[in-house]
């Protein structure tokens, strides 16, 4: 059985970075990593391919971006394996006693109805929904709430690692309302906001109300390291804003169909 080693994120993802896919570190530049087995890589690829099989039908443009990041997801599988206790195997779908992987869903982000210090699922997303209630001039948060840091599920047996794909913030069905975003972490708060795509109001593909926001690269969200990711709306209303990526999780986080209440 492999053991974990400490590696620089810049070294682990050097090929992806060279291809124009940066990894947001938030001031934590070294990570524990276990190289996944070929079987585990195949399991992650099966999950990604299942997402791609339908994403291509909805938006070939977004699907192409997502597909380029397959090796990123494979390597984060090794990070999940190293950071969750027991060097569990990675399976798709998840199986008892192992680490599962699936596409990001609201229940992976808002994993409890009422966030607390022990389950810090602080976010502007309501439970079980991608719909954000936005007010012009008031920050909304994918992760955190402006004061409290967000962490992926930290509960024993239910730990999670979220991986938001590069440019994986997608608004659906309404006129896009966000004009800037900012990320900071418990280790690094020095960076100011960045402006979103200046032509975000233009749909990605003719006849489809799908809009894509640019990110600072791939954004991992750990169970032991707090993050805040805010956005500033310039219009009010309810918007469906989805985060595309994967969640790696200990089986007991999703032992069955989950609805947060």
- The string of pLDDT tens digits covering residues 210-252 is 899 999 999 999 999 999 999 999 999 999 999 999 999 999 9
- Does 78 reside within a domain? yes
- Does 196 reside within a domain? yes
Distance CA 203, CA 29 (A): 35
**pLDDT in the model for residue 173:** 87
Distance CA 13, CA 30 (A): 12
- Does 74 reside within a domain? yes
pLDDT digits (tens, 9 = 90+) for 46-81: 999 999 999 999 999 999 999 999 999 999 999 999
Task: Output the CA–CA distances (angstroms, integers) from residue 221 to 28, 54, 58, 80, 186, in the order listed.
Answer: 12, 25, 26, 11, 12
**pLDDT in the model for residue 175:** 85
> Could you tell me if 163 and 76 are in contact, meaning their C-beta atoms sit under 8 angstroms apart?
yes
Peptide bond before residue 73 is cis, with ω within 30 degrees of 0: no
Residue 198 pLDDT greater than 80, yes or no = no
**pLDDT in the model for residue 104:** 98
Return mean pLDDT, the chain. 95
Among 115, 109, 101, 82, CA closest to 12: 82
Place 197 in a pLDDT band, splitting at 50, 70 and 90: confident
Percent of the chain with pLDDT over 70: 98
Q: What domain range is 20 assigned to?
A: 5-251
In this predicted structure, which of 168-172, 184-188, 198-202 has the lowest mean pLDDT?
198-202
**pLDDT in the model for residue 207:** 72
- Does 258 reside within a domain? no
Contacts of 103 (CB under 8 A, 6+ apart): 47, 51, 244, 245, 246, 247
- How many domains is the chain built from? 1
3-state secondary structure the chain: CCCCEEEEHHHHCHHHHHCCCCECCCCCCEEEECCCCHHHHHHHHHHHHHHHHHHHHHCHHHHHHHHCCHHHHHHHHHHHHHHCCCCCCEECCCCCCCEEEEECCHHHHCCCCCCCCCCCCCCCCCCCCCEEEEECCECEEEECCCCCCECCCCCCCCCEEEEEEEEEEEEECCCCCEEEEEEEECCCCCCCCEECCCCCCCCCCCCCCEEEECCCCEEEECCCCCEEEEEEECCCEEEEEEEEEEEEEEHHHCCCCCCCC
**pLDDT in the model for residue 231:** 98
Place 199 in a pLDDT band, splitting at 50, 70 and 90: confident
**pLDDT in the model for residue 205:** 77
Residue 200 pLDDT greater than 80, yes or no = no
**pLDDT in the model for residue 174:** 80
Residue 1 pLDDT greater than 60, yes or no = no
- Does 261 reside within a domain? no
- Does 124 reside within a domain? yes
- Does 259 reside within a domain? no
Find the mean pLDDT for residues 11-16. Answer: 98
Number of Cβ within a 10 Å radius of residue 168 = 22
Residue 202 pLDDT greater than 90, yes or no = no
> Could you tell me if 75 and 90 are in contact, meaning their C-beta atoms sit under 8 angstroms apart?
no
Residue 9 pLDDT greater than 70, yes or no = yes
pLDDT digits (tens, 9 = 90+) for 78-122: 999 999 999 999 999 999 999 999 999 999 999 999 999 999 999
Judge residue 147's burial from the number of C-beta atoms within 10 Å of its C-beta, 0-12 exposed, 13-18 middle, 19 or more buried. Answer: exposed
- Does 43 reside within a domain? yes
């Amino acid at each position: 059985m492999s053991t974990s080693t400490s590696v620089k994120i810049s070294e682990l993802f050097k090929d992806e970075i060279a291809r124009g896919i940066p990894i947001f570190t938030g001031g934590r530049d070294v990570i524990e990593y276990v190289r996944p087995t070929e079987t585990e890589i195949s399991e992650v690829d099966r999950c990604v391919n299942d997402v791609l099989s339908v994403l291509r039908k909805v938006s070939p443009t977004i699907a192409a971006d997502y597909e380029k990041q397959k090796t990123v997801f494979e390597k984060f599988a090794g990070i999940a394996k190293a950071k969750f206790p027991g060097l569990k195997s990675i399976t798709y779908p998840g199986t008892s006693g192992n680490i599962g992987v699936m596409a990001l869903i609201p229940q992976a982000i808002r994993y409890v109805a009422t966030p607390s210090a022990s389950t810090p699922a602080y976010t502007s997303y309501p439970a079980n929904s991608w719909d954000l209630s936005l007010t012009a001039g008031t920050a909304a948060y994918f992760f955190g709430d402006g004061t409290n840091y967000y962490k992926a599920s930290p509960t024993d047996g239910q730990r999670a690692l979220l991986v938001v794909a590069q440019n994986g913030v997608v608004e659906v069905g309404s006129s896009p309302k966000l004009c800037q975003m900012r990320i900071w972490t418990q280790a690094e708060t020095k960076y100011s906001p960045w402006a979103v795509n200046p032509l975000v109001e233009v749909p990605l593909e003719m006849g489809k109300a799908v809009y894509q926001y640019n990110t600072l690269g791939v954004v991992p969200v750990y169970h032991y390291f707090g993050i805040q990711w805010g956005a500033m709306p310039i219009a009010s209303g309810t918007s469906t804003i989805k985060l595309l990526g994967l969640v790696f999780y200990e089986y007991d986080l999703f032992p069955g169909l989950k609805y947060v209440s």
